[in-house]
Structure 1
Amino acid sequence: MLVWEGLTATPALAQREPVLVPAVSQSRIEVRQGFTGARLLLYGAVIDPAGAGSRGEDYDIVVVLKGPSEAVRIREKERIAGIWANAESSDFRSAPAFFAVASSRPVSEIVDERTAAIYELGTEFIQLSPSGEIDPEEQARFAKGLVELRQRQGLYQEDPGGVRIAEKVLYQARINLPSNVTTGRYTAETFAIARGRVLASATARIEVVKAGLEGQVVTAAQRWSFLYGLGAIGLSLMMGWIAGRLFARG
């Protein structure tokens, strides 16, 4: 196991396979009032075991950025007697709040579907961990619906050709985080691939946190949850009393 300043890299075969040295432009992103999103630069180098003087191999690079996992329930709307109502639903235990893939060319041209599924190299290969008993076809339909919904929200992204490689060594990718991004720990996994095989991988971590007044409120709610709850109840009662007095005067 090799470590570079908090980033871990695991070569597939030590000394004989390439080594990835990853980095990110921001390891901490602060979400403040008026936050409009962020543009992350993920970059690094592929170190060939044969040395700098060798011809080197043509590697493809795929970068997968994932946000914190969360439990999600997807409901289907159905029109009954002219009214839209909730119909069937499906639960997923660990859907990533954010998921983005950038690659040096389309993933389908780099690896086969089995390899793509193992490493989650695309939105269609996200491991959503469904729960409960449901027909597999229905489960797949709900999973597709969840992915399409989050794609429209900008939370699930794919960018074939989004990774640039220079001199078979240096690579870089840019991924946009939208304004509605969820706070928490994100992982950026980078894969060096050749001949349809993942030869090396590396992981970098990014923290997305609330800052400013919103961050202080969140911290207070987490550290002093009981007092925070009492304060919220007291504030609600006071606002209700003030509203009642104002209406009584009117």
Structure 2
Amino acid sequence: MNGLVSYISKVGFCLAAFILLLGNTPVLVPDVSQDKISIKGDFTGAQLLLFGAITYPPGTRNQERADIVVVLKGPTQSIVLREKQNVAGIWINAASSEFRSAPGFYAVASSRPIETIVDNKTADIYELGLDHLQLSPAGAIDSKELGRFTDGLVDLNSRGQLYKSLPNQVEITNSVLYKARINLPASVPVGDYSAETFLIIDGRVEAAEIKDITIEKIGMGRFFTNLSQEYGFIYGLLAVFLSVSLGWAAGYAFRKL
């Protein structure tokens, strides 16, 4: 009986210490301007506002050197990247690499440049920055080749506005309130996204929170997307039928002219 009481006392002490420890750490309260974005046929892009507050434990000063990093990414997808090689003046497919899980969109906004906020190890752990994305290859590949294909994917998506780095784009007011704006291009992929907010003080991640965001097609765009994904054979037949019908109609119209 005494042993049980002693065990319960130890557990209670550990729980109390854990609660006190939590009470001495800052807390992030993030939010987004919209957690669901609908894409219609006339969609030309959107701007997402990510904002929130930092609450500090009672009796502690607001950290003047607190930094905020916001990462918006998703949806995870498999991507095959192929290199082109010029052979006798003709560009042909050469080496290729497949990534099992790469974000279709990735944007990182920060109150200062990432390299001035955290070291490379911390940036790698939390994937803070385009240079620190952790992409998983589908097969065996040496590190040098993996680095080359990773750089190629980042460059390709950066030129398409799907990967972007936004240093000095998180505004912090009175070391408490923060906000950042991230532009989404018209080509942004549909799916589930995560908006991760990190509070970093003296190079250490002190708090992190996640908000979920969904980007979806509506109307006829959604109908055709679902049809292609769930009924690929029917979608293919419909595409061939429409192509033949339009070709026949165009030919008939020209004969009448």
Quickly name the TM-score band, shorter chain normalised.
0.7 to 0.9
Where in structure 2 are the equivalents of 1:14-33 lying within 5 Å?
A: 14-33=22-41
CA distance in 2, matches of 1:114, 1:101: 17
- Aligned with residue 140 of structure 1, among 116, 137, 147: 147
Q: CA deviation at 1:200?
A: 0.4
1:2-17 matches, within 5 Å, as 14-17=22-25
Aligned to 1:63: 70
Counterpart CA distance in 1 for 2:141 and 2:232 is 37
> Hey, what's the Cα distance between the residues in 1 that align with 2:214 and 2:47?
14
Task: Quote the Cα distance in structure 1 between the aligned partners of 2:254 and 2:111.
Answer: 64
Relative to the length of structure 1, the TM-score reads 0.85
The 2-side partners of 1:138 and 1:225 are apart by 34
1:201 aligns with 2:200: no
Which residue of structure 1 aligns with residue 53 of structure 2? 45
Shift of 1:231: 5.2
Letter in 1 for 2:152: G
Q: Distance in 1 between matches of 2:131 and 2:62?
A: 32
Q: Does 1:186 align with 2:193?
A: yes
RMSD: 2.5
Partner Cα separation in structure 2 for residue 141 and residue 130 of structure 1: 12
Which residue in the other structure is 2:165 paired with? Answer: 158
Q: Which structure carries more helix by proportion?
A: 2
Find the partner of 2:221 among 214, 224, 246.
214
Q: Does the C-alpha gap of structure 1 residues 77 and 218 become closer, same or farther in structure 2, counting only changes over 3 Å?
A: closer
Whole-Å Cα distance in 2 between the matches of residues 232 and 31 of structure 1? 22
Superposed CA deviations along residues 106-126 of structure 1, whole A, max 9, x for unmatched, are 111111100000000001111
Unaligned runs of 5+ in 1: 1-10
CA–CA distance in structure 2, aligned partners of residues 188 and 194 of structure 1: 20
**Whole-angstrom CA distance in 1 between matches of 2:244 and 2:84:** 37
Relative to structure 1, is the Cα distance of residues 149 and 237 closer, same or farther in structure 2, using a 3 angstrom cutoff?
closer
Q: Aligned pair 1:175/2:179, yes or no?
A: no
Q: Distance in 2 between matches of 1:131 and 1:37?
A: 32
Give SS of 1:14's match.
Answer: helix
Cα distance between partner residues in 2 of 1:152 and 1:99: 13
The 2-side partners of 1:91 and 1:227 are apart by 28
* Cα separation, partners in 2 of 1:48 and 1:37, compared to 1, 3 Å: same
Measure the CA separation in 2 of the matches of 1:230 and 1:80.
37
Match of 1:8 in 2: none
Alignment check: 8 A CA contact 1:50 1:56 kept: no
CA apart distance, 1:219: 3.9
Instruction: Report what 1:36 is aligned to.
Output: 44
Q: Specify the SS of the correspondent of 1:101.
A: strand
Which residue in the other structure is 2:4 paired with?
none
> Per the alignment, do residues 167 and 96 of structure 1 end up closer, same or farther by CA in structure 2, a change over 3 Å counting?
same
Which deviates further from its counterpart, 129-138 or 61-70?
Answer: 129-138
